[in-house]
């Protein structure tokens, strides 16, 4: 199973989110359920409610962009994973680099959020990746494996729980210029090895997927999908244009759009 996860970030109003969900549903809803690809759309928290009703009877799954780790309590402004579950989210991004950069999200917070999501049966999409500076200093392996280890600290996968790790080199996000599939594959292998050490090979192979994100669009996605260790893509800008997203999903599903 391959994944295409559309991260709409804070790019759309609630009305625009509903409209995009309707357009995407019209374009891919009829065939995507029969393809070997899981498509997830991640609107803002406010957008989730309307988009949930648009995609509810389709094969398109709903994801959130963030959550809080407690189910309820005095945590002003936060939204619990339990509430996300309530409105039909089955996926949630955790530790996206924009949250790490602008909102001070730490590895410890990522770990608590991942734990809460797993407990509630929502699949965490744990985002990891190095900055350009870290890469230039030869630290990318240490940074990325450190983020994976920290996110999964003291966690195990059981039963129907699933985990997705998204490798996103940070400076590439929004740049229009992805790293090469070969470059991404090196890091994917490293992440898979780290997951083997943390969770065991059997659990990793059955329950975990590692996907690539950063400047993916319909013109370059096939190159990533040709590498078996890359099991899907996390898409920002290209997920906001319905035709472009349709072409991208079709390329991942190996289908004419
Ligand atoms: P991009 O964003 O596809 O616009 O580079 C990816 C992401 O932030 O997940």
Give the pLDDT confidence of 4-29 residue by residue, as tens digits. Answer: 999 999 999 999 999 999 999 999 99
**214 Cβ inside 6 Å of ligand 1:** yes
Q: How confident is the model at residue 35 (pLDDT cuts 50, 70, 90)?
A: confident
Cβ 234 under 6 angstroms from ligand 1: yes
pLDDT at position 257 over 60: no
Q: What are the phi and psi torsion angles at 162 (to 5°)?
A: -130, 160
Q: How far is the CA of 165 from the centre of ligand 1 (A)?
A: 15
* Residue from 96, 98, 130, 188 carrying the catalytic annotation: 96
Q: Please tell me if the CB atom of residue 174 comes closer than 6 angstroms to any atom of ligand 1.
A: yes
pLDDT-above-90 percentage for the chain: 95
Give the per-residue pLDDT at 254. 85
| Residue nearest atom 7 in ligand 1 by C-alpha distance | 236
């Amino acid at each position: 199973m391959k994944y295409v996860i559309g991260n709409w970030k804070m790019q759309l109003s609630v009305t625009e989110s509903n409209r995009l969900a309707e357009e995407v549903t019209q374009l891919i809803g009829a065939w995507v359920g029969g393809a070997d690809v899981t498509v997830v759309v991640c609107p803002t928290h406010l957008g989730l409610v309307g988009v949930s009703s648009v995609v509810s009877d389709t094969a398109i799954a709903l994801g959130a962009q963030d959550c809080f780790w407690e189910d309820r309590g005095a945590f002003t402004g936060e939204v619990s994973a339990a509430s996300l579950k309530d409105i039909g989210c089955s996926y949630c991004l955790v530790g996206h680099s924009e949250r790490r950069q602008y909102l001070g999200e730490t590895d410890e917070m990522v770990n608590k959020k991942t734990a809460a999501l797993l407990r509630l049966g929502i699949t965490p999409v744990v985002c990891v990746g190095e900055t350009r500076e870290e890469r230039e200093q030869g630290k990318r392996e240490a940074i990325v494996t450190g983020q994976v280890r920290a996110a999964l600290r003291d966690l195990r996968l059981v039963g129907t729980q699933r985990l997705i790790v998204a490798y996103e080199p940070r400076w590439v996000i929004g740049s229009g210029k992805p790293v090469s599939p070969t470059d991404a594959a090196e890091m994917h292998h490293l992440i898979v090895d780290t997951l083997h050490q943390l969770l065991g090979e059997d659990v990793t192979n059955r329950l975990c997927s590692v996907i690539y994100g950063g400047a993916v669009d319909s013109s370059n996605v096939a190159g990533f999908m040709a590498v078996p260790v890359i099991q899907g893509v996390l898409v920002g800008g290209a997920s906001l244009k319905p035709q472009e997203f349709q072409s991208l999903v079709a390329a991942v599903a190996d289908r004419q759009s």
